[in-house]
Amino acid sequence: MSRQQTHRPLAVLAGAGPGDPGLISAAAMDWIAQADTVLYDRLANPSLLARCRSDAELIYVGKGPGAHAMTQDQINELLVRKTAEGKLVVRLKGGDPLIFGRGGEEADALVDAGLPFRIVPGITAAIAAGACAGIPLTDRRLASTVTFITGHEDPGKDESSINYDALAGLDTLVFYMGVGNLPAIAERLISAGRPAETPIALVQNATLSTQRTVVATLAAAAETAKTNNVRPPALLIVGKVVTLHDKLAWKEKLPLFGQTVLVTRTRRQASKLTEQLVACGANVIECPTIEITPPDDFAGLDEALGQLESFDWLVLTSPNGVHGLLTRMRQLGLDGRNLAKVRIAAVGPATADLLEEHFLQADLIPDTFTGEALGKALATKVRKGGKVLLARSEIATKELPEILHAAGAEVTEAVAYRTTRPDSLPAAAIDALTDGKVDWVTFTSSSTAENFLALVEGADIDVKALKLASIGPVTAKALLAASLTPTVQATQHTIPGLVEAIANWKEHPRT
């Protein structure tokens, strides 16, 4: 049971953080996972909603420039109504609920309705933008104060409540939602006595892989923003601390910063590759080109599982094989005890790691993580006439069993899962491909490569213009068969090896 479990009704005003889903608090994620209803903002990363219960009600209430799904009064009314129905309602707000997030108004509405609420703080955009752009908002050498200011006041006000005369003498200023009013902000600060040559930075899409930092002077701020097409969401940072950006801008120096990478693995497997690419600064679009399903007929697998103790070796060539095999064993009332007398061979560390999660140890992992290398390594271990159970996909190549047969092994092949092609690629992937915004496409098996090529056939996509990353020689062979040369091939045929190959690639100079 979650440590946050509580009685309903209850409203939780939770900060979603600045955009990067890794920067939300653990407390906020606990509440999201329990919520009956989630009212979420435009700047709350949509991936956070994956933690919601499958039966949770998700309602978009975002507000963007000139495009409001609801007015604030309507949001307040909806929040009160859903909570009054006896639900646990999470109001998921970008950044922090109480820093230019109108969380105070929503809390007011709940108090007036006599409804209980909680407030879960979040990392506000100013702090995140400074950290990710390499601009310390305070630094004892340059700035002892920092001030947050809205660049977009209530349009119903007769006059601005911002005291520019006071602001002009303070160290670091951070304006939220200020891009649209940038000319007026700069003019008022200069008129109030802030030097025109004061350095400024505009940080767009802070914390995301699409983050962009544009540096100028206060006098040139508006023109620089226009020339560089700076668009919301963006923050304006004013002050001497901006001079530290060039030296401390760590995020924008990541090896894959600003590059878009398609991940073609199954949805279930994509997360590890996605996480490692994002850690290198990439913008990742998950684009599954294979779907893993149970076999149409379990007869062959069931027969083999019924005589597990007769096998000398169990051979698994992918995490999918592990998952399919163990799932069927559970369905038949079997478990690890039935494998006590069987030695296990795994094609590589990912397969072995998944076995370990189920308290099973691989007895053999080849030095090179391919089916051919696995077959050669096992051929030296299996006795003549030894019985080997090979549990894998129905479309797997024959190379491995042929090597084992040649070594004198008696091989039983059983289908543990099916690999199928989805009907189409996700819309986000198609849009990025047709717009020429994809830098890399990753392939972790021959099936991902073959299916990707089949799914883009006939579309206005120049595959030869893309950089293609192969996890190993078998996958590369599938690309070469389509007259495509992989840009990189992992030296170690693993997910970390694939990411390393992409991150270390340097374009050859044109001759």
Contact 338, 395 (CB under 8 A): no
Please list, in sequence order, all residues whose beta carbon lies within 8 angstroms of the beta carbon of residue 389, skipping any fewer than 6 positions away.
304, 308, 311, 313, 314, 315, 342, 412, 414
Residue 308 half-sphere exposure toward CB, CA atoms < 13 A = 22
pLDDT of residue 156: 56
Strand partners, 395: none
pLDDT of residue 397: 85
Burial 247-267 (b: 16+ CB within 10 A, else e): ebbebeebebbebbbbbbbbe
Instruction: Label the pairing between strands 63-64 and 67-68.
Output: antiparallel
pLDDT of residue 66: 66
* Each residue's pLDDT expressed in tens, for the chain with a length of 511 residues: 344 556 789 999 999 999 999 999 999 999 999 999 999 999 999 989 989 999 999 999 998 766 778 999 999 999 999 999 999 999 999 999 999 999 999 999 999 999 999 999 999 999 999 999 999 999 999 999 999 999 876 555 656 789 999 999 999 999 999 898 999 999 999 999 999 999 999 999 999 988 999 999 999 999 999 999 999 999 999 999 999 999 999 999 999 998 999 999 887 777 889 999 999 999 999 999 999 999 999 999 999 999 999 999 999 999 999 999 999 999 999 999 999 999 999 999 999 999 999 999 999 999 999 899 999 999 999 999 999 999 999 888 899 999 999 999 999 999 999 999 999 999 999 999 999 999 999 999 999 999 999 999 988 899 999 999 999 999 999 999 999 999 999 999 999 999 999 999 986 443 3
d(CA 63, CA 65): 7
pLDDT of residue 272: 87
Burial 361-400 (b: 16+ CB within 10 A, else e): ebebbbebbbbbbbbbbbeeebeeebbbbbbbbeebeeeb
Query: Do 10-122 and 298-420 agree at the fold level?
Result: no
pLDDT of residue 266: 81
Question: In the 8-state DSSP scheme, what is residue 143?
Answer: B
Nearest alpha-carbon partner for 165 in 188, 147, 195? 188
The yes or no reply on domain 10-122 and CATH 3.50.50.60 is no
Residue carrying structure tokens 């077959």 = 375
Instruction: Label the pairing between strands 283-286 and 260-263.
Output: parallel
d(CA 122, CA 23): 8
Active site residues: 41, 63
Contact 360, 336 (CB under 8 A): yes
Alpha helices in 364-510 (DSSP H): 371-379, 399-406, 427-434, 446-456, 473-480, 495-503
Q: At 265, phi and psi to the nearest 5?
A: -70, 170
Domain ranges (residues) in the chain: 10-122, 127-252, 260-290+422-503, 298-420
pLDDT of residue 28: 98
Distance of CA 460 to the CA centre of its chain: 27
pTM: 0.80
pLDDT of residue 394: 87
d(CA 251, CA 132): 6
d(CA 295, CA 305): 15
Give the C-alpha distances (Å, rounded to integers) separating 388 from 264, 330, 345, 380, 397. Answer: 31, 21, 10, 13, 16
Domain 260-290+422-503: CATH architecture, name and number where available:
3-Layer(aba) Sandwich (3.40)
pLDDT of residue 160: 75
What is the widest separation between alpha-carbon atoms in the chain? 92
Contact 319, 269 (CB under 8 A): yes
Domain 298-420: CATH architecture, name and number where available:
3-Layer(aba) Sandwich (3.40)
pLDDT of residue 2: 44
CATH number of the 127-252 domain: 3.30.950.10
Instruction: Label the pairing between strands 234-238 and 172-176.
Output: antiparallel
